[in-house]
Amino acid sequence: MQQLPYLSLITFLPVIGLILILFLPKKNDKQVKYIAIFFTGLQVVLAGILWNAYNYAAGGINDPKSFQFVEKFTWIQFWGGDWLGTVKIDYFLGIDGLSMPMVMLTALISFIAAISSWSINKSVKGYFALFLLLDTGMMGVFVALDFFLFYVFWELMLLPMYFLIGIWGGPRKEYAAIKFFIYTLLGSVFILLAIIGLYLSAKVPLGDGTQVFTFNMLELMNPKNYLQDGILSAVNPSNLRFLAFIALFVGFAIKIPMFPFHTWLPDAHVEAPTPISVILAGVLLKMGTYGILRINYPIFPDVTVSLVWWIALFGMINIIYGALCAMAQKDFKKLIAYSSVSHMGFVMLGMASLTTVGVAGAVLQMFNHGTITAMLFLIVGVLYDRTHTRGLDDFGGMANQMPVYTGFVTVAFFAAIGLPGLSGFISEAFVFLGGFSNGVTRVLTVISTLGILLGAGYMLWTLQRVFLGNLNEKWNALTDLDTREYVMFIPLTIIIILLGVYPSLMLDIMNSSVNSLVKFLTVAKTSYTSIGF
Amino acid sequence: MSIGLNHFLIVSGILFSLGIFAIVTRKNAIMVLMGIEFILNASNINFIAFSKFGNFGVQGEVIALFVIVLAACEAAIALAIVLNIYKQFTTVNVDEINNLKN
Amino acid sequence: MNENLMINLSVIALFIPLIGFFFTVVLGKRIKSMYLFEILIISAVMIISALLAFFKLAYYTDAVFIAEFTWIKIQNLPVFGDFSFNLGVKLDNISVIMLFVVAAISTLVHYYSIAYMKGDKRYNRFFAYLGIFTFSMNGIVLTHNLLMMYIFWELVGLSSYLLIGFWYEKKSASDAAKKAFLVNRIGDMGMLAGILIVFFTFHTFTFDEIFGQVASGVLPFNSEFWLTMMGILLFCGAIGKSAQFPLHVWLPDAMEGPTPVSALIHAATMVAAGVYLTVRIFPIMTGDALLFVAVVGMLSAFIPATIALTQTDIKRVLAYSTVSQLGYMIMAIGVGSVVYGFFHLVTHAFFKAGLFLGSGSVIHGMHHEQEITQMGGLRKKMPVTYYTFLIFCLAISGVPFFSGFLSKDGILAATANFSIFTGHWLIPVAAFSVAILTAFYMFRLLILTFHGTPRNQHKYDHAHESPKFMIVPLVILALFSFFFIFSPNPISAENGWTLSSWLKVPNSVVPESARYSFLASAPADGSSGSLYTHEYVESSHHIHYYVLFGSLLLAGIGILFAYLFYQYRKLNADKLTGKITPLYTFSRNKWYFDELYQSTFVAGTMRLAGLLAWFDSTIVDGIVNLSASVTRIFSRISGAFDNYVVDGLVNLFATLSGMFGLILRRFQTGRVQVYLVFVLFSLIVLILTFA
């Protein structure tokens, strides 16, 4: 039976919505919103179908046969002169246990953000058009398996983000948008350099038997495909491989964001409108860590193995530094932004452990952080919509004024603190268990446990300042949540609790892929012996 | 010495030069016209002289007659234009007439 | 009643409070009497626990029932194949006794709260929180593994946070709640680190499997030092939860919560969870780790006892006494007398819950007055409260015929015996002096509150005895404070049913070289033998008589001095404090622990946070912005270059062309005659040139 091209569908559905929106007359704001919500909702349904049809046993990572829902055909092919030979770029999509959770996360967060965008009133058509384009870009990054295609999606998502922050943002939106754009573009340049280097280092046979350079990620993971004298050759490794790893890593690290490349994040978050903050924190940050897991790890296993201590170190710095910075903030949204820095540190720590438990914890933390932080930003948004201020000291006593809202806040805050029974706990515990199991990262892991104390510190302090105490008389007209806000909060709350109680829902999806990745790296540890660092 | 072709040519050359001189130096449009007449007549002399001394039959004289007729027509039209110019500009000084349309 | 039924009942007892919590939270706003649902549930839990405890202790005294299921399964791990995170319940004597204690006190507190919390605007919410507390506490009690213990450990932290901050409009309440959670988290960090070592070393969290592996010689990092560290780190959780020195500071502040909560969570059950954990991990505690435990327990018993001497808030006195008594239990475990430690937990749970509920009754009767300086003479107004309070005071002071004597006497004997075997004489000295102090400050509290003449006549006139719902739990708890519940012999519990047949603890599995010399290994045939060597048991019999009289004497001295100071006024307390002012203020200000922590850890963290935030926005972001500015400066330079040099050249050409144009323009006069001259001139030049 011919399989439907699910991945293309889920990636390009928003584009269909975008075209529809562009054809609508300018003043049909309501219809525009409905279309956007409908198409993102459809994405969620498709993600559900994918999940249903997903084969849990397939490993993926470097084995093309065990990728699922694969679509592969030649996209661009031309004769590039004697030196390049035939240039061939594939349209190559497929998912494994690393990308499946991310696809689900992207669909979910986009849907929630689309609902949250209901309150946007300024040039609605343009907003939702860009929003849907962004959606496509994000989804594409997670399903692309061809380097060139990956890069195209990676850049595709930048542009709408720039406009969404720069036009619909807060008072310093231009500064924030430009900072975000240039910073991320800088990262992209590094990535591009590494991509070109890799492209020119490996050849695979074409149908007619000639050897051509390749952008195929999976082929690049196989050391046998590298040319003897290729600049980044895995056969004959040189220090250039080390440099290329660093270039790629920095490109992705900017997105995570890793200390010291994180300063675009607070600015972008503070200025971006709520739904965009939600997407930024919920999905975009994950691209950094996803990129490292998908590309850095299997393509440069030799370098990875030698650098895990450094990755863990930066993870630890992120955890503690981010938490301490969050503690000093006066702006609610900035605090949440710094908490993201801290929580993404757990992902890096888990990745660095190179154990199944740790890496699974990292991937799970990517998903959990996506849902929890999305909820936290929605929480700030609800308050900001009503009061137009985000100063932590302007509030107090909200628990009496908005009890239901405070209930959701408590769930989200305690999930962020890592309370057992809520999703954050499992991933953090897994990260710690994994990190401790690897002798290289053990000490750093123990230091990182300080993060759970500091995290509780700033979260509870915030809870106290904003929600407890006596009500500030200014706000005695505030209303509790409305139906639309219920629709945003309830699914996220359910997921947070569900994954806290039964994490296997997510862990089983990623289990075999994480195993393949860890095995691949363990094998690499022994097989790349000639490397000089 | 007998009157030969050269003498005619010299007269015609002097006449031509006078004509040119008149065209270049005179400011009065009528004087310029007269210079043109001089040149025409200088050419007439040449035609006739070459006809007399060359082996051309009467072709030279015939062309001279044509030239006379043309000169007459030309003078008539030109004088009419000059008259109109004068009506428009109240002057016939060619330096001052630098507009095609007043 | 068979094994399956017992397991099922215990699981029901675990989960129905959670159901109660959800329904009460969701429906509490709509249905006024939703709290009755919660009452119903806790009664059911109570009945189930009582049944479980009865059948377990009566019919299956020596059996251990374990049931587990796989919660998370990680398959095909590269190193050790499949790995399962199992959750499960373990029913042994300790857990059913603890379960019963928790359920009994919880039920009494629920009933008590019906009257005490009446009129509160979050009445239903209060019962919902009690429900989630009961759930988490039962989880701690029933678990058979460390991970689940940690999970519920955090959850009781949550319920404690919610209940301390129940009246969150008060800044002091929300501060106290935050403080409790954070201080507990410090301990939990240590516990987490311990769990990490456990996972790494044994690849399991289940107690029995860990014990088995240690017994067969598997040690963390193959060293006894790390086994000690593992024990100490796990014990850190207990330091936090049981408010042991140096993390004891949160418990007195936790008195901001409603009094029933103080009784249930911060006196009887949750704070005892630390002791329970220490009992559970006792078999893998090395001698050094146990010595650490003993020293922590000693300090926690002594320091708060000295603080309690001078406090005037009725609940704070009780809070410090709780810390002190918990220190006793911890110390008992530290000196190897794990059974007496747990026994003291049980007896203490009843009389301390009674003391708190009694103080709640006083506070309720005095219209929310907590200062004992405003009380006095209440004995006549509140007779039932007075007599029950007296019984609890006698119990905690260690007077014979009351439960406290049985357990305390055992602990004192164990410390004395411990010093004989190891030479650590400071521990029994501290333990005995704490016994005097306890008797003294408890009777000081009793006398100042109930005896003498009223110090605030107005408040006295309006004082009244509490309603039945509050009185009945007090009477029941008073009943549980008598010796006959635990042992037929009022002087010694040693041969009573509690100790001789119920409290069974596994033997130490630590390698012989690392454990206390007097701890015995389990008999090789798997039967349950004595925890201790023969010599130790002999010695403890011998020493018991001396200790018995000693402790009687000490309790008597403490009570006597309390009467001399406060009842008969033979000695003047004010004169005495005048003589030792520095000591008095030191104790009055709680040894300045709060100030010390505030000025070092809290202020240090805040300053570090401020510094890092400044560093982040000024230096890190400054570098980013600087690089942007540098780029802009470069762009300006290159802009200028472009403007003046590149574009200058272009403009130069244009200017030159213009100049040529200007010159050539001269020739274009528009006069036919001039052109004619040029033509002629050129013609002449041409002719002259080529002719």
Sequence-distant (6+) residues with CB within 8 A of C538 are none
Q: Does residue C145 come out as left (phi exceeding 0), alpha (psi in the -120 to 50 range) or beta?
A: beta
Q: Show residues of chain B in contact with C677, CB under 8 Å.
A: 24
Confidence check: pLDDT of A133 > 50: yes
Confidence check: pLDDT of C216 > 90: no
Residue A62, CB half-sphere, CA atoms under 13 Å: how many?
24
Spatial contact of A117 and A275, defined as CB atoms under 8 Å apart: yes
How confident is the model over C441-466, as a mean pLDDT? 86
Closest CA to C416 of C332, C509, C478: C332
Q: Reduce the DSSP state of residue C65 to 3 states and report it.
A: strand
Tokens of A147: 């380097």
CA C444 remoteness from chain centre? 29
Domain boundaries, chain A: 6-530
How confident is the model over C228-239, as a mean pLDDT? 92
Sequence-distant (6+) residues with CB within 8 A of A73 are A90, A91
Tokens of C333: 């475990």
Confidence check: pLDDT of A48 > 90: yes
User: What is the spatial distance between Cα C640 and Cα A146, in angstroms, rounded to a whole number?
Assistant: 43
**Do the two chains A and B touch, given a threshold of 8 Å on CB pairs and at least 3 pairs?**
no
Q: Show residues of chain C in contact with B20, CB under 8 Å.
A: 676, 680
How confident is the model over A227-254, as a mean pLDDT? 82
DSSP A44-87: HHHHHHHHHH--TT---TT-GGG-EEEEEEEEEEEE-HHHH-EE
> Which H or E run contains B29?
helix B29-53
Indicate the length of chain B as a whole number.
102
pLDDT of the residue at B102:
55
Is C671–B24 a contact, with Cβ atoms under 8 angstroms apart?
A: no
Q: Is the dihedral of CA A465, A468, A470, A471 positive or negative?
A: positive
The amino acid occupying position C396 is I
User: What is the spatial distance between Cα C7 and Cα B42, in angstroms, rounded to a whole number?
Assistant: 144
pLDDT of the residue at A26:
79
Spatial contact of C251 and C327, defined as CB atoms under 8 Å apart: no
Lowest mean pLDDT among A54-63, A520-529, C423-432: A520-529
Residue A160 Cα, gap to closest chain C Cα (Å): 22
Per-residue pLDDT band for A190 (boundaries 50, 70, 90) equals very high
Per-residue pLDDT band for A1 (boundaries 50, 70, 90) equals very low
Per-residue pLDDT band for C365 (boundaries 50, 70, 90) equals confident
Spatial contact of A260 and C622, defined as CB atoms under 8 Å apart: no
User: What is the spatial distance between Cα A388 and Cα C313, in angstroms, rounded to a whole number?
Assistant: 44
Kindly identify which residue of chain C lies nearest to residue B26, measuring between CA atoms.
Answer: C673
Q: Is C50 part of the contact surface with chain A (CB cutoff 8 Å)? A: no
The dihedrals phi and psi of C380, each to the nearest 5 degrees, come to: -75, -35
Per-residue pLDDT band for A533 (boundaries 50, 70, 90) equals very low
DSSP A152-177: HHHHHHHHHHHHHHHHHS-TTHHHHH
Q: Show residues of chain C in contact with A321, CB under 8 Å.
A: 612, 616
Instruction: Give start and end residues of each alpha helix (H) in C423-495.
Output: 426-450, 457-462, 468-479
pLDDT of the residue at A346:
94
Residue A200 Cα, gap to closest chain C Cα (Å): 31
Is C676–B24 a contact, with Cβ atoms under 8 angstroms apart?
A: yes
> Which H or E run contains A205?
strand A203-205
DSSP A494-507: HHHHHHHH-THHHH
CA distances from C139 to A420, C10, C91, C133, C154 (A): 12, 10, 12, 10, 11
How confident is the model over B82-94, as a mean pLDDT? 85
Per-residue pLDDT band for C540 (boundaries 50, 70, 90) equals confident
Q: Show residues of chain B in contact with C676, CB under 8 Å.
A: 20, 23-24
Sequence-distant (6+) residues with CB within 8 A of A433 are A357, A358, A361, C196, C199, C200
Candidate from C174, C188, C189 with C-beta closest to A469: C174
pLDDT 10s digits, C19-60: 988 888 888 778 888 888 888 888 888 888 888 888 888 888
Whether this model's pTM surpasses 0.90: no
N- to C-terminal Cα separation, chain B? 58
pLDDT of the residue at A530:
38
User: What is the spatial distance between Cα C331 and Cα C411, in angstroms, rounded to a whole number?
Assistant: 8
Spatial contact of C251 and C258, defined as CB atoms under 8 Å apart: no
Dihedral in degrees, nearest 10, Cα atoms C400, C403, C405, C411: 160
Q: Is C670 part of the contact surface with chain B (CB cutoff 8 Å)? A: yes
Is C673–B98 a contact, with Cβ atoms under 8 angstroms apart?
A: no
Q: Is the dihedral of CA B83, B88, B90, B91 positive or negative?
A: negative
pLDDT 10s digits, A439-493: 888 899 999 999 999 999 999 999 998 888 888 788 888 888 888 889 999 999 9
Kindly identify which residue of chain A lies nearest to residue C150, measuring between CA atoms.
Answer: A420
Residue A172 Cα, gap to closest chain C Cα (Å): 15
pLDDT of the residue at A490:
93
User: What is the spatial distance between Cα B82 and Cα A216, in angstroms, rounded to a whole number?
Assistant: 90
Q: Reduce the DSSP state of residue A209 to 3 states and report it.
A: coil
For B77-99, b/e burial (b = at least 16 CB within 10 A) is ebeeebeebeeeeeebebeebee
Is C151–A420 a contact, with Cβ atoms under 8 angstroms apart?
A: yes
pLDDT of the residue at A529:
42
Q: State the chains in contact with C (3 or more Cβ–Cβ pairs under 8 Å).
A: A, B
Count of other CB atoms within 10 angstroms of residue C80:
8
CATH topology of domain B5-89: Helix Hairpins (1.10.287)
Q: Is C680 part of the contact surface with chain B (CB cutoff 8 Å)? A: yes
Spatial contact of C231 and C201, defined as CB atoms under 8 Å apart: no
Q: Show residues of chain A in contact with C152, CB under 8 Å.
A: 420
Q: Reduce the DSSP state of residue C238 to 3 states and report it.
A: helix
Residue contacts between B and C (CB atoms, under 8 Å): 14
User: What is the spatial distance between Cα B61 and Cα B49, in angstroms, rounded to a whole number?
Assistant: 9
Helix A332-353 / helix A423-437 crossing angle, nearest 10 deg:
40
User: What is the spatial distance between Cα C272 and Cα C244, in angstroms, rounded to a whole number?
Assistant: 11
Domain boundaries, chain B: 5-89
pLDDT of the residue at A335:
92
Partners of C72 in the beta sheet?
Answer: C85
Q: What angle do CA C398, C400, C402 make, to 5 degrees?
A: 75
Tokens of A248: 């790629």
DSSP C386-410: HHHHHHHHHHHHT-TTBHHHHHHHH
Is C73–A464 a contact, with Cβ atoms under 8 angstroms apart?
A: no
Is A400–C613 a contact, with Cβ atoms under 8 angstroms apart?
A: no
Tokens of C249: 């500071």
Kindly identify which residue of chain C lies nearest to residue B25, measuring between CA atoms.
Answer: C673
Confidence check: pLDDT of C121 > 80: yes
Per-residue pLDDT band for A302 (boundaries 50, 70, 90) equals confident
User: What is the spatial distance between Cα C586 and Cα C561, in angstroms, rounded to a whole number?
Assistant: 21
User: What is the spatial distance between Cα C162 and Cα B81, in angstroms, rounded to a whole number?
Assistant: 114
Q: Which ipTM did the prediction report?
A: 0.91
Is B98–C670 a contact, with Cβ atoms under 8 angstroms apart?
A: yes
In angstroms and rounded to an integer, the radius of gyration of the C-alpha atoms of chain B is 17
Q: Show residues of chain C in contact with A426, CB under 8 Å.
A: 72
pLDDT of the residue at C527:
62
Selected for mutation to probe chain C from B27, B95, B100 (highest C CB count within 10 Å) is: B95
Residue ranges of C 489-518 with Cβ closer than 8 A to chain A: none
Q: Show residues of chain A in contact with C178, CB under 8 Å.
A: 460-461, 464
Spatial contact of B12 and B45, defined as CB atoms under 8 Å apart: yes
Average pLDDT of chain C, as a whole number: 87
How confident is the model over A208-218, as a mean pLDDT? 83
pLDDT 10s digits, C491-534: 777 777 777 778 878 888 888 888 888 888 777 666 666 788 88
Is A356–C189 a contact, with Cβ atoms under 8 angstroms apart?
A: no
